[in-house]
Each structure stands twice: as C-alpha cells, then as structure tokens.
Amino acid sequence: MKYLKNKINQWQEEGKEPTYEFLSIQDFIQELDYATHYLSRLLKTRPLIVYIMLFKKAYLEEGQRNITVKLSEIGKNLLSDQGTPMSHAPIKNGVNDLVKLNIIYKDPQLRPGQINRYEIRLPSEIPAVKEMINTDSNQIIEKVNLNLEDCYTDPLKRIEIFERDNKQCFYCLCELKNNTFYLDHIFPRSQGGENYKSNLITSCKTCNSKKSDKNAETFLLDNYRGGLITQEEFLNQKATLENLIETYENCKLSAG
C-alpha cells in the first residue's frame, strides 16, 4: 500500500490522473474464472490467449486498465501448434479480433506502430459475458429451488430417493424392497434437519433405529468397524455422503 500511495502522489505531482485499478485477490480470481469459462465460449484459442495475457499484464503486473503493449513481447514464451515460438501474425490477429469485438479498446490517438496503448476491459464488463453469468446463476438458483421440496412425505419422492440409493441401505448396503425401506435424515429432524432430498437417505429398519440422532458419518464408521461394510464401501459411501451434505448446505443457503 505504501508503494501505491507513493505512486499516486508521484502521478499527482506530475499532473497525471491516478489510474490505478484496485482489484482484490478474490476479484482477480473471479475475473480470471470468467475469462476461462465464458470468454472461451466467445473467442477462438488465439484471441483468448492474447486476452488472458493482456488481462494479466494490466491487472496483475501493472495495476491499470490502460496499458502500453509491445506486440512482439506478447506470447513469446508460448509455443504454436508446430512447437515453435508463437509468431507475430497470430498475436496481431488476436489483438485485432479483440478490438473488433470491443473486448479491448485501442487508443485512437496513437499512430499505428510497434507500440500501442489499449484499454483492457474486465471480463465482467463485457456485455456478452455479463449475460452468460446471469443466465448461469439463474439456472443454478432454479435447480437449487427444485430441491427444496418435502421429499419425506411424498410417496413418489421417497421412491426417487430409494432408487437414487440403488435400493440399498445407505449404511450397511443390504438389499431392500419397495415396501421395506426407511428414509433417514442425515441431519436429524430434532436438530432442525429438513425434508429435502439431499438430507434423506435410504436405510434398513435396523440401521434406522440404531443410527437415531447419531452423526451419519460416525454411524457409517461404526458399521465399517463392526464388519458390516468393507473399507472400500465405507470410503465410497463417505464420499457420497459428503456430496449430499454439500448439496444440502447449498439448499439451506438458497432457502435463506
């Protein structure tokens, strides 16, 4: 921060506008994620690589959105498909594509030459990317909302869970029939556990009553130690349990 302050003071003394872009670590990672997830749907490989290099130069190395770029220095450490260093032409084409698509702006003040100034927009500032982010987050919210139904009392939903769990007791893996299965709450009702699909697992009568309000993973471990399931089965069930818990926690978050 001291470095930044000195730099800003220096700019002000020189009569320049401070142009430092403050991007937190989280924001930088988020923007980089947008670039690889969404910009990659809009751009071909070369312009995408060029954009990521410009983005990194602007926001990671220089801390400003307006940067001076020597095209010959971009991508000199990357290899082309033929295994030779990337040549100037595809880099130049990549930059031109980005300018055409308004992903970066070229400073019109400067004469065309070896050195050009560009304004590098953040991925989240590009309208097409913004739209994709919104669509994706709406879809995620919709999906999560669907999983907030009461699946404990609905007979059809109960069968869905029974089938999801391969018609076996989740804890001891014994085979069960349509009319002999129980549904167990991973987080017990007595502790505020909901009737969401992600909080319910198929159980046999014995496991259901033995588990009671115990922690699900602890109970699974009890069954492994008691020789009811093998180590491999225990690890598989544990991984499935962790996934369910993660989904359940997301459901809880979206439910507020």
Give the footprint of Zn ion on this chain (CB under 5 A): 169, 171-172, 204, 207
97 vs 165 by CB, closer to Zn ion: 165
52 vs 174 by CB, closer to Zn ion: 174
Q: How far is the CB of 206 from Zn ion (least distance, A)?
A: 6
Q: How far is the CB of 173 from Zn ion (least distance, A)?
A: 7
95 vs 207 by CB, closer to Zn ion: 207
Q: How far is the CB of 204 from Zn ion (least distance, A)?
A: 3
Q: How far is the CB of 197 from Zn ion (least distance, A)?
A: 20
Counting Cβ atoms within 10 Å, is residue 209 exposed (0-12), middle (13-18) or buried (19+)?
Answer: exposed
Q: Which long-range contacts (CB under 8 A, 24 or more apart) does 30-38 make?
A: 30/124, 31/55, 31/59, 31/122, 31/123, 31/124, 34/123, 34/124, 34/129, 34/133, 35/123, 38/123, 38/128, 38/129, 38/132, 38/133
59 vs 171 by CB, closer to Zn ion: 171
Gap between the Cα atoms of 236 and 231, Å rounded: 9
